[in-house]
Amino acid sequence: MTSQSRNLFTLSAAEMREISTHGVARTYPKGAVVVTEGDTTDTLFVILDGSVKVYATDDNGREIVFLTQGPGEYFGELILDEGPRSASVITLEASRLLSVPKRELQDFVATHPAFALNVMRKLISRVRTLSASVKSLALMDVYGRVARLLLELAEETDGHMEIRQRLTQQDLASRVGASREMVGRILNDLAVGGYIVTERHRIVIKRRPPEHW
């Protein structure tokens, strides 16, 4: 598996072994669209190796990125309500995914309460995140949205905060609903002000960015 810190919604090694008996593993190349927004399908996907991007687009092709996911995480749990896919998912690198049909997922949820609780917590977190995003888009300027996103993505490592995901300026722009040029100027201003250091594969937060610029 690729290196990634375990978060609240990452399945444990034991859960990964157990759920693997309920699905089929398949390898996808980089750039493969695994799920398309609006489709009606009945599969949960568990990431065994690699990483994916969860996103949506409008009629003009503009994209907003909801999150990226890595080994041990899963997507597609909304199939439990039998509705269409709420977002698209594409691989960011060659990845191996476990596909679990809805009927197998229902049996697994019924017999594994810890996993059922994990799904509930994930859905609750998604509601909270979407609520915060709506509030941010409505009440905060672009700088405020960028600063908030940087702090949300950062993890503490050796006494300092850093973002270890490989994010481009366009990735950040898609998440905050702004242009790449605007996000680039904000990141440059934060770097000049000594708040962040942008390196090739990470962003280090030296000190907390101010709430307003």
Can you give the CATH number for the domain in which 200 is found?
Answer: 1.10.10.10
* Dihedral sign (CA 76, 1, 161, 190): negative
185, 132: one domain:
no
Of 137, 171, 194, the residue at which a domain comes to its end is 137
169 within 8 A of 160, measured Cβ to Cβ: no
pLDDT at 36 over 90: yes
Distance CA 66, CA 130 (A): 9
Note whether residue 192 is domain-resident: yes
Distance CA 65, CA 81 (A): 23
Of 137, 160, 183, the residue at which a domain comes to its end is 137
Note whether residue 114 is domain-resident: yes
Return the pLDDT at 1. 37
Residue 33: give the domain boundaries: 13-137
pLDDT (mean) for 96-114: 93
Note whether residue 4 is domain-resident: no
Distance CA 201, CA 97 (A): 24
174-185 tens-digit pLDDT: 888 888 999 999
Per DSSP, which regions of 43-192 are E strands? 43-49, 52-57, 63-69, 74-75, 88-91, 95-101, 155-157, 160-163
Return the pLDDT at 59. 76
Return the pLDDT at 5. 41
- At residue 188 the predicted structure's pLDDT band, cuts being 50, 70 and 90, is very high
Q: What is the CATH number of the domain that holds 89?
A: 2.60.120.10
107, 44: one domain:
yes
Note whether residue 1 is domain-resident: no
Note whether residue 66 is domain-resident: yes
- Closest to 11 in 3D by CA, of 46, 54, 56: 46
Looking at residue 25, the DSSP 8-state letter turns out to be E
Note whether residue 213 is domain-resident: no
66, 151: one domain:
no
Residue 114: count of CB within 10 angstroms of its CB: 10
Return the pLDDT at 7. 62
30, 129: one domain:
yes
Of 83, 114, 137, the residue at which a domain comes to its end is 137
Backbone torsions φ then ψ of 163, nearest 5 degrees: -105, 115
Higher pLDDT, 80 or 2: 80
Return the pLDDT at 138. 60
Distance CA 3, CA 84 (A): 32
Note whether residue 17 is domain-resident: yes
Model pTM?
0.64
